[in-house]
Each structure stands twice: as structure tokens, then as C-alpha cells.
Amino acid sequence: MVTHSLKWLEDFSVKSRTGMPLEFCTRFRKGLKTLGVMEAMTQHLEAFQAVLCYSGPGKLSSTEMTNLFRIGISERGSNQFNQETQVISYWYDYIQDIEETPGVITMEDILFFATGCREIPPMGFNVEPSVEFQHSCEGEEGRYPRQTHAPASIKLTVAHNFDQFKENMEFGTANGGGYGILNSS
């Protein structure tokens, strides 16, 4: 009777915390032991914890943001290459400014604008987000960054100075609504 009650309590406890019956957890653990993964997990707990245990969103750093995006740049020696290298410099400076001087736009706003995610997924993105460039700025809309849906990328306009780039980024990001979302205001 006591054994049955303890079994029920243990099963209830596991199921209420994980949403899965104890039997599933036991079989899963047994499977991990078969391949030697369970032993490796217990010996190197810290290494597995970052991958298997979600710790919630942390504040994004400028280093994480700049490393997250792959830069798609034109062929070296072309006029576009020269313009794009200047804009890349503005991009890095802008990301650094956001980290050092909190303002209207946050790192998370830029991430959301470009990818639709408010935080970097624990296992990363399936396809690396990218930074691309739009050279022809026709009309008022051509001044602001745009996002591309597949794969997730942000298209930066070729600005002539940092202040113009920053102003365009802030306005475009704040009013863009995010990845694939139209702003109703």
C-alpha cells in the first residue's frame, strides 16, 4: 500500500512538473544510458545545461548582435563594395551606441524587426540572419531599413553619414512593425 502511494506520488510529481508520465521519463533516461549520453551529461553538466535547460532571455550584447548576422557584401573593388563597407561601419557603430546609450530602439527591437524573434532561440536560428544592402533609395520609403522574410535578413540603406543612418534605422525599426508584421499606426 505504501509502495503504491509512493509510486503514485512520484508519478504525479514528475507529471505535474514535466507534463509527462514517469514511465516516459524512465524510458528516456534508459535510452540515454544505452548510448553513454547520460554518463557524459552527468560528467559535463555545465556543457549540457546551456543546450538542454532554457534559462530565459538575457540582455543582448553588441557582440552577440554583430556575430548573429552574416554580412552579404558586393564584390571587392566595386563602387557598391566601397559604399557597403562604410554602411557596415555605421551598422557596427549603431549597435555599439544602442548598448552604451539606451534610447528609443533596443537590441531586441532590431532582432524582432529582422527575424520576428524577441530573443535568440536557445538552439539558434535554422538559417543565419543576414545584413544586406539596398542601393537605390527611391522616395521616402527607400530611406529606411527593410526586412526580408526568407531567409530572415535586414536590408540597410546606403546612407552618407552616421547621423542619417542612425535616424533612418530608428524610424524604420520603430515604425516597421517587425518581421512580416504591418504596423497599424
Average pLDDT (88-114) is 92
Rounded to the nearest angstrom, the gap between the alpha carbon of residue 182 and the centroid of all alpha carbons in its chain is 20
Residue 131, strand partner residues: 71, 154
CA-closest candidate to residue 66, choices 114, 103, 102: 114
Query: How far is residue 173 from each of residues 72, 109, 155, 182, measured CA to CA in Å?
Result: 20, 7, 11, 12
Distance, in Å, from the CA atom of 82 to the CA atom of 72, rounded to the nearest integer, reads: 13
Q: Is the pLDDT of residue 13 over 60?
A: no
Q: What is the dihedral of CA 93, 95, 97, 100, to 10 degrees?
A: -130
What are 23-62's pLDDT values in tens digits? 777 788 888 888 888 888 888 888 877 777 766 667 889 9
Distance, in Å, from the CA atom of 86 to the CA atom of 63, rounded to the nearest integer, reads: 19
Q: According to the model, what pLDDT value does residue 15 have?
A: 55
